[in-house]
C-alpha cells in the first residue's frame, strides 16, 4: 500500500511536472545509481514512498524515545530528592526508593526497546524500497515488513502495559469498570 487508502497496484497514470535544482537532480541520479534503479521516474517514485512512510512512522519511533527521556529525567529528580540521611534513618524508605527506581528503570528500558524496534522496522521497510527490483515487488515487501513490525509492536505494547498494570494496579481500571 502506498498509504492507508491507495492500493500498491494502482496504475501510474498521473503526470507530475516540477522544477528542481541541479543539486537535487544530481542527488536523485546518485541515489538511483547506488540502488541500481534505471529511471529517474522510478527513483523519484521510490523516494516519495520513503518520505511518506518515514513521515507516517516517525512519531512511533520518536514518542517512545521521548518517554524514555522523560522517565530518565524523573528518575534523576527523584534521586536528587532522596537524601542519604533519610535512607539511613529509615531502612524501609530505602526499599521503597529502590523499588520505585527499578520500576522507573524498567519503564524507561521498555520505552527505549519500543523505540529501537520501531526504528529497526522503519529502516527495514525503507531499505526494501531502496533495493533494485520492480517497484511493485519492493513495495509489497515493504508492506509485509510494515505489517510484521506492527504485529510485533502490538505484542510488545501489550506486554509493556501488562507489566505496568501488575506494578501499579491502582492506576488502571478493572474490566468491570467498562461494563455498562
Going by pLDDT thresholds of 50, 70 and 90, the confidence category of residue 28 is very high
Q: Is residue 128 part of a domain?
A: yes
Q: Which of 7-16, 27-36, 122-131, 143-152 reaches the highest mean pLDDT?
A: 27-36
The pTM (predicted TM-score) of the whole model is 0.49
Q: Is residue 8 part of a domain?
A: no
User: How many domains, the chain?
Assistant: 1
Round to whole Å and give the CA distance between 73 and 75.
5
What DSSP designation does 36 have?
T
Q: For residue 81, how many C-alpha atoms fall within 13 Å in the half-sphere facing its CB?
A: 9
Q: Which of 1-5, 66-70, 175-179 has the highest mean pLDDT?
A: 66-70
Asked if 28 and 50 count as a contact pair (C-beta separation under 8 A), the reply is no
Q: What is the per-residue pLDDT for 23? A: 92
In a domain, residue 98? The reply is yes
Confirm whether 78 is domain-assigned: yes
Domain that holds residue 68: 25-167
Amino acid at each position: 500500500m502506498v498509504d492507508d487508502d491507495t492500493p500498491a497496484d494502482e496504475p501510474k497514470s498521473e503526470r507530475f511536472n516540477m522544477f528542481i535544482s541541479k543539486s537535487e537532480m544530481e542527488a536523485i541520479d546518485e541515489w538511483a545509481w547506488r540502488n541500481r534503479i534505471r529511471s529517474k521516474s522510478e527513483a523519484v517514485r521510490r523516494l516519495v514512498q520513503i518520505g511518506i512512510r518515514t513521515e507516517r512512522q516517525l512519531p512511533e519511533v520518536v514518542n517512545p524515545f521521548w518517554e524514555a527521556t522523560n522517565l530518565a529525567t524523573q528518575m534523576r529528580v527523584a534521586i536528587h530528592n532522596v537524601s542519604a540521611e533519610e535512607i539511613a534513618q529509615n531502612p524501609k524508605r530505602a526499599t521503597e526508593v529502590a523499588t520505585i527506581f527499578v520500576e522507573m528503570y524498567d519503564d524507561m528500558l521498555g520505552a527505549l526497546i519500543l523505540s529501537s524496534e520501531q526504528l529497526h522496522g522503519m529502516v527495514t521497510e525503507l531499505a526494501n524500497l531502496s533495493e533494485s527490483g520492480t517497484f511493485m515487488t519492493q513495495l509489497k515487501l515493504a508492506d509485509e515488513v510494515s505489517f510484521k513490525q506492527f504485529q510485533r509492536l502490538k505484542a510488545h505494547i501489550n506486554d509493556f502495559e501488562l507489566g505496568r498494570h501488575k506494578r501499579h494496579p491502582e492506576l488502571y481500571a478493572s474490566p468491570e469498570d467498562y461494563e455498562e
